[in-house]
Amino acid sequence: MHAIEVRNLVKRFGEFTAVKGVTFDVDEGEVFGLLGPNGAGKSTLIRMLTTLMAPTSGTATVNGFDIARQADSVRRSIGVIPQAMTSDTELSVRENLLIYAKLYGVPRERRNRLIPELIEAVELTQWADQQVMKLSGGMRRRVEIARGLVHEPRLFFLDEPTTGLDPVSRVAVWEMLRRIKKERSLTILITTHYMDEADRLCDHIAIVDHGELKALDSPIRLKASIPGKNVLEVSFVSAPADWQARLEALPHVEGVTERDSVFRIATDNGPVTTQALLEAASGAGVTVRSLSVQSTTLDDVFVHYTGRALRDALQEAPTHDFSFITRR
Amino acid sequence: MARMWAIIERELRRFRRSPTLIIVSLVFPIVQLVVLGYAFGGNVKNLKVGVVDQDHGLPAVRIRELAGAVAANARTFQTVPYADPGTALTDLRDGRINGVLTIPPDYSRRVLAGDDPRVALIEDNTDNFVTATLAAAMGDMVGALAQPVATTERVSTEPTLDVVEVYPYVPYIQYLLPGSVVMSIFMMVMIGGGIIFIDDKARGLHEGYLVTPISKFELIAGFNLSGTIKAVMAGIVLMTIGSLIAGIPDPFAPLRLFRLLVVIVVTAMALISMMFLIMVRVSDPLVPRAIFGVLNTLLYFPSGAVYPQQGFPQWMRAIAVVDPFTYAVHAFKCLLLKNTGFGAIGFDLLYLSVFSVIAMSLATRLFRRTL
């Protein structure tokens, strides 16, 4: 059985379509990642699935409940960590969990057992009675994770859980999520714009851009689905006009793209192509300025399916800012 | 209902940790009560009146003596003698004196001839309070001059008015207290309810609640009741401190305290319901701050808290009719100044209760369960 089934889900804000007929399934027990830049439609999608927003058209079921017709049952069966920090900073870690346990109607005996257990699971026992405002960003995220699990949901939604955290805190959150998922047999749907996060955490990744699903598979298969096992990034002091065509003719090369005078050469045999490249450059009197050989990354996958690098997409301001609409 | 209590518990735990909020909500009404109460409550004294005697006859001397008596006793004004009216008028225009009493050259002759004798008071009428006080004091003085020195009649043939006051003298600070109690409730409703509600919304805190199975009614009722509890606390504190400052007689009589508590609760519910109705669709944190002052003026002043409503123009009376402050202030006046029972405030309680139910029903209807 699928934990989530999404069929042709559409969300329009006036003339703008934020989510354009997305279809996918999430299996029980897996970590499913929605990968894309800001404004790609990831948060809108997660808000529809968590009943915070009504879809314009299409259907979706979460834990077998229809998001439009059985919203309350959906809410009871899921844990949600929204993108914004939603813990009460004036309250302590324990109080935050207590209030949410009550909001979910968790009986007293169960919450008395669960709250200390969850605080320990997110390694905050020492700070249990500390006000959240006195904790670091990473610790606050851990409070939110514990809070989202206070009613023992089967399915956990996390909207960019590590945005704004330093690299050390990010890794700590990943490890915690992996451990909690294993201990509690959770299904997790996570949105992120961090390639390494998606690569390390997710069983399946859906690449989302401009409200569309561009690709969906496991990280390994996604990487295997694009040309080349390796990518050579090389720049030259003065490359002749037909240089790209000559690079494409090198052995094992499956594709060459050029941007800002940097050539990205996809190859299924990095060492052989590198050797041939250096010989070709030497023979043509072209000086190599820089050269690096990498394995295919999710960034390459993103470039392949969307035509742009994720780091570039992240720097682009979203064309439509819906924060003012979604908060109404 | 358990979820509603969770919202109340959360709000009250936060409130307990925000002493600044409590202080800010109480300081303004107390300061206003004290400053306005003492500023407007006293009699105007020590005004300066220039006296220009162009007559120098015996009746003119009598006027000067009477003016001197007022200056020495009631001290409403002090007299400053002037030799010529030109200098006196120049000083009046320059603000050195507040009025000029002119005794014309033929005053004594007209008094003796019984030929409509007149004195003139020239006033700086840019200040209505000063003008009214001066005119009243001079009017009394001239009226005293007109009285015969002795009467031979044992029984007066003219009708006279005896004024009997039902209640002890009410100083202006006591008159202001009911409005200040309502103001403290309103301040807590706005700061502890409206502003925090919208700030939480803007910070995304509401997203956290909306993904839980809490219903619209439980959410609004939770916010309303927690806001009411906070506002009731503010009202009780202000009523206690204010009663002591204003010198309300026997302020802690148990029955009166009970009645006051009922009015505070009903008022707090009405104002918090009104606030949620206004804020239910607002998401910009600037809005509650921007309308705070406007609402305060629009509700407080037409309520009769500082001035009787009978003196208002028609449009302002129309506001007063629907203004919940009006009924709350009336109820507090009855209890604090007259120590009446529920009979005198029944309509006030009914209006405030109906107002609460309507406002809360509308707010719940308008509240969106989704973003």
Q: How far is CA B59 from CA B63, B104, B108, B109, in A?
A: 7, 11, 5, 9
Interface touch A91/B371, C-beta < 8 Å:
no
Chain B residues with CB under 8 Å of A47 CB are: 371
Give the model's pLDDT for residue B150.
Answer: 55
Give the model's pLDDT for residue A321.
Answer: 43
Give the residue from chain B lying closest to A47, CA to CA.
B371
Give the residue from chain A lying closest to B281, CA to CA.
A328
Q: For B73-127, where are the alpha helices, taking DSSP H only?
A: 85-93, 107-113
pLDDT digits 0-9 by tens, A44-102: 999 999 999 999 999 999 999 999 999 999 999 999 998 888 888 889 999 999 999 99
Domain A227-295 grouped into CATH 3.30.70:
yes
Q: How far apart are CA B333 and CA B246, in angstroms?
A: 13
Average pLDDT for B297-307 = 87
Give the model's pLDDT for residue B225.
Answer: 92
Give the model's pLDDT for residue A312.
Answer: 63
Which has more confidence, A310 or B65? B65
CATH superfamily of domain region A2-218: P-loop containing nucleotide triphosphate hydrolases (3.40.50.300)
Which range in A196-200, B34-38, B97-101, B204-208 is most confidently predicted, on average pLDDT? B97-101
Q: How far apart are CA B193 and CA A284, in angstroms?
A: 76
Q: How far apart are CA B203 and CA B172, in angstroms?
A: 44
Domain boundaries, chain B: 2-40+170-366, 43-144
Give the model's pLDDT for residue B197.
Answer: 87
Residue B154 has pLDDT above 70, yes or no: no
pLDDT band at B287 (very low <50, low <70, confident <90, very high): confident
Q: Is the dihedral of CA A307, A311, A312, A314 positive or negative?
A: positive
Local structure of B150: helix, strand or coil: coil
Q: How far apart are CA B104 and CA B101, in angstroms?
A: 10
Contact B29, B183 (CB under 8 A): yes
Domain boundaries, chain A: 2-218, 227-295
Which has more confidence, A178 or A310? A178
Residue B326 has pLDDT above 90, yes or no: yes
Contact B167, B337 (CB under 8 A): yes
Q: Smallest Cβ distance to A90: which of B3, B9, B17?
A: B17
Q: Which contiguous run of DSSP H or E holds residue B183? A: helix B172-188
Residue A188 has pLDDT above 80, yes or no: yes
Q: Which contiguous run of DSSP H or E holds residue B282? A: none
pTM of the model: 0.77
CATH, domain range B43-144: 3.40.1710.10
Local structure of A164: helix, strand or coil: coil
Please give the ipTM for the structure prediction: 0.77
pLDDT band at B151 (very low <50, low <70, confident <90, very high): low
Interface touch A83/B204, C-beta < 8 Å:
yes
R_g of chain A computed on alpha carbons? 23
Give the model's pLDDT for residue A311.
Answer: 59
User: B61 CB contacts (<8 Å, ≥6 apart)?
Assistant: none
Q: How far apart are CA A257 and CA A236, in angstroms?
A: 14
Q: Smallest Cβ distance to B370: which of A53, A100, A131?
A: A53
Residue A16 has pLDDT above 80, yes or no: yes
Q: Smallest Cβ distance to B213: which of A76, A86, A131?
A: A76
Residue A166 has pLDDT above 90, yes or no: no
